[in-house]
């Protein structure tokens, strides 16, 4: 039995044997007591069964000359929820023009995409063990027969199968024989796992292995036409360019030029050479004006670093490419490298209500007020060049109204989404779902829910006009038997205390010295204080006493 594990993936699906506890909660407004009531159901436990699954990447399409050795990299990942064993099959397929000679499947221990001396061969009888989220690298190796006719192609297949549940994935590679240029492009990354703020170093090696040298393709550099062979790498989403690795640390082709592609530039082959602001870069390239020697075997290497942003997906994939022309076969060719993956600490989505400046989180709001929301959903950041959109839902717990609200990314490559326009509310007991306005009532709870692009859910609640009650703003829990004390804003430090009133609800605070006035928010009557609750343990009242004085926040004490 073999083992070739690479990366531990932080999974969103539970592992086999995990016990999931579910408990329902219902909240409603009870008019007999005058405040929201919460009831919980009995808990239900479910044990997760073992489910095997796998991914095998990527099918390859390459061009090589007659008599050339071939290396075809692949990666197997355990995407199930239980440790699994795998065995492999590989073969030349029928229906093509020739077969690769000396066909082998290699355990690519160093992950460089090439069959290196000493790396173990894999036979059909071998088995390999991977834990959930772990990966192993493979290389199909062989040689094109020297007498193969130009233009012919061969198809080879590699298949991975789980031992326990016989789950199977296959890749088919196509190898075409080319008389002129043949390129090999391999990519590697400095770390299989990373966290927010870490630096990743990507290395892209391009090697000419055909009968002729690659020729330049059209490119614009610093506003002028400058044909080059381009070894290019588009930055993956949720990363930011840091720098090129110094040339002294990485061999590059003679006369090569380090190039930056700007996010604002729509033409993919237009570059600048002066280092721009790192946030403006969405791709980098190494330009080779002349590929020497004129036959083959020159290696060009592009090495650069990126920073993992704070709002990240479970993993970062990256693939490079080389663009060149061939005088023996006119046209532009784009050869893709193998894909490398770095797994990251997974961040679940979040969503919060905010004030209209998106500076302070909000836990309460007034009737007929607009709602402002912000969600973090890194998995929905699919394109680092555009500000994408995401929809959320808002549900009233008292009226049952449900509205869909559109949010937009705060900028390209942020993964932070905010309401495009504020969500309006109105005081109305009759719900009209889908009309764009949330029908709500005093002491309602409005729940906003976001489901990110990985299927993970987050929600947040806001209380509507919770006047006359004292509650913990961190948990929305009511605080029975509280005593509210306010003091006027004048130089005299007179204090006025109130206890729960005698209106049968037990939650209204009555202050005999207060008169109806300009109380915030909204409504008040003689002898009753209404106000906005700012934080746990505080009651804010802004009003007038005998039309003259304003009242300041004062600490709430639980009644003894």
Q: What is the largest CA-CA distance in the chain?
A: 105
Instruction: Return the CATH number of 348-464, one of 2.40.230, 2.60.40, 3.40.50, 3.50.70.
Output: 2.60.40
Query: Whole-number mean pLDDT of the chain?
Result: 78
What gap in Å lies between CA 507 and CA 519, rounded to an integer? 18
pLDDT reading at 544 higher than 90: no
Q: Assign 172 to helix, strand or coil.
A: strand
pLDDT band at 69 (very low <50, low <70, confident <90, very high): confident
**In which band, very low, low, confident or very high, does the pLDDT at 36 lie, cut at 50, 70 and 90?**
low
- Say whether pLDDT at 173 is over 90: yes
Nearest Cα to Cα of residue 5 among 112, 78, 97 = 78
Helix (H, G, I), strand (E, B) or coil at 217: strand
CB atoms within 10 A of CB 258: 17
Burial status of residue 36 (CB atoms within 10 A of its CB: 0-12, 13-18, 19 or more): buried
Element (H, E) at 233: strand 229-234
CA dist 378 and 311 (Å) reads: 6
Residue 107: pLDDT band (50, 70, 90) is very high
CB 126 within 8 A of CB 138: no
How big is the CA angle at 464 (ends 459 and 465), to the nearest 5 degrees?
155
Domain over 180-346 is classified CATH 3.90.1300.10: no
Same topology between domain 1-7+47-177 and domain 180-346: yes
Most confident range, picked from 112-116, 313-317, 343-347 = 112-116
Asked if 235 and 242 touch (Cβ cutoff 8 Å), the reply is: no
Position 475 scores a pLDDT of 57
Lowest mean pLDDT among 61-70, 103-112, 441-450: 61-70
DSSP strand pairing (482-488 vs 199-208): unpaired
Confidence band for 104, pLDDT divided at 50, 70 and 90: very high
Residue 238's pLDDT is 83
How far is the CA of 432 from the CAs of 87, 101, 426, 435, 437, in angstroms?
57, 70, 11, 6, 8
Q: How far apart are CA 174 and CA 167, in angstroms?
A: 24
| Distance of alpha carbon 161 from alpha carbon 130, whole angstroms | 12
- Buried-state track 234-247, b at ≥16 Cβ within 10 A, e below 16: bbbbbbbbeebbee
Using only C-alpha atoms, the chain has a radius of gyration, in whole angstroms, of 32
Q: What is the rounded CA–CA span in Å between residue 542 and residue 554?
A: 11
| pLDDT tens digits, 487-500 | 444 433 333 333 33
pLDDT bracket for residue 34 (50, 70, 90): low
Q: Is the pLDDT of residue 528 over 60?
A: no
The predicted pLDDT at position 472 comes to 60
Band the pLDDT of 128: cuts 50, 70, 90: very high
Residue 38, class by beta-carbon neighbours within 10 Å (0-12 exposed, 13-18 middle, 19+ buried)?
exposed
- pLDDT at residue 163 is higher than 90: yes
Read off the pLDDT of residues 231-263 as tens digits, 9 standing for 90 and up.
Answer: 999 998 889 999 998 754 444 566 789 999 999
Average of pLDDT values for 205-225? 87
Q: Which residue has the higher pLDDT, 28 or 382?
A: 382
Q: In the chain, what are the domain boundaries?
A: 1-7+47-177, 180-346, 348-464, 467-560
pTM of the model: 0.51
Rounded CA separation 455/457 (Å): 7
Highest CATH level, class, for 1-7+47-177:
mainly beta
- Cβ-proximal residues to 487 (8 Å cutoff; 6+ apart), any chain: 493, 494, 495, 496, 551, 552, 554
């Amino acid at each position: 039995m073999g083992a070739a594990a690479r990366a531990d993936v932080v999974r969103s699906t539970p592992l086999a044997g995990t016990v999931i506890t579910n408990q329902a909660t219902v909240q409603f407004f009870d008019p007999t007591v005058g405040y929201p009531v919460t009831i919980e159901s009995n808990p239900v436990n479910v044990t997760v069964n073992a489910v095997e699954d796998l991914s095998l990447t990527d099918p390859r399409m390459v061009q090589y000359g007659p008599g050339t050795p071939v290396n075809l990299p692949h990666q197997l990942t355990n995407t199930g929820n239980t440790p699994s064993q795998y065995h492999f099959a590989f073969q030349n397929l029928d229906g093509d023009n020739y077969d690769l000679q000396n066909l082998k499947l290699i355990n690519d221990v160093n992950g460089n995409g090439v069959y290196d001396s000493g790396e173990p061969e894999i036979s059909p009888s071998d088995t390999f063990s991977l834990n959930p989220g772990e990966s192993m690298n493979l290389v199909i190796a062989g040689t094109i027969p020297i007498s193969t006719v130009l233009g012919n192609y061969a198809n080879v297949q590699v298949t991975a199968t789980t031992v326990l549940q016989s789950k199977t994935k296959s890749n088919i590679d196509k190898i075409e024989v080319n008389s002129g240029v043949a390129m090999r492009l391999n990519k590697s990354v400095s770390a299989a796992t990373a966290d927010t703020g870490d630096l990743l170093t990507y290395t892209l090696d391009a090697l000419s292995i055909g009968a002729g040298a690659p020729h330049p393709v059209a490119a614009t550099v610093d506003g002028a036409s400058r044909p080059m062979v381009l070894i290019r790498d588009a930055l993956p989403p949720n990363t930011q360019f840091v720098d090129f690795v110094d040339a002294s640390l990485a061999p590059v082709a003679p006369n090569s030029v380090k190039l930056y592609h700007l996010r604002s530039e729509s033409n993919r082959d237009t570059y600048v050479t002066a280092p721009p602001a790192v946030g403006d870069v969405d791709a980098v390239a190494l330009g080779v004006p002349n590929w020497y020697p004129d036959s083959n075997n020159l290696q060009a290497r592009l090495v650069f670093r990126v920073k993992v942003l704070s709002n990240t997906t479970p993993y970062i994939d990256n693939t490079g490419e080389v663009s060149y022309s061939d005088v023996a076969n006119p046209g532009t060719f784009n050869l893709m490298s193998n894909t490398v993956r770095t797994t990251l600490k997974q961040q679940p989505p979040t969503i919060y209500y905010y004030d209209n400046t998106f500076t302070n989180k909000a836990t309460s709001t007034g009737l007929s007020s607009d709602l402002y929301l912000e969600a973090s959903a890194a998995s929905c950041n699919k394109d680092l060049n555009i500000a994408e959109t995401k929809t959320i839902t808002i549900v009233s717990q008292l009226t049952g109204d449900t509205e869909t609200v559109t949010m937009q990314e705060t900028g390209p490559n942020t993964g932070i989404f905010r309401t495009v326009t504020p969500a309006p509310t109105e005081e109305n007991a009759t719900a009209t779902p889908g009309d764009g306005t949330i029908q709500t009532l005093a002491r309602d709870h409005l729940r906003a829910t976001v489901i990110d692009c990985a299927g993970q859910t987050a929600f947040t609640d806001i209380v509507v006009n919770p006047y006359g009650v004292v509650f913990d703003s961190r948990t929305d829990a009511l605080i029975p038997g509280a005593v509210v004390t306010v003091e006027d804003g004048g130089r005299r430090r007179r204090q006025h205390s109130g206890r729960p009133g005698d209106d049968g609800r037990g939650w209204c605070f009555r202050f005999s010295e207060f008169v109806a006035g300009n109380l915030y928010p909204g409504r008040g009557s003689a002898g009753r204080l209404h106000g906005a609750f700012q934080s746990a343990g505080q009651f804010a009242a802004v009003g007038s006493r005998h039309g003259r004085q304003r009242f300041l926040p004062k600490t709430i004490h639980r009644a003894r």
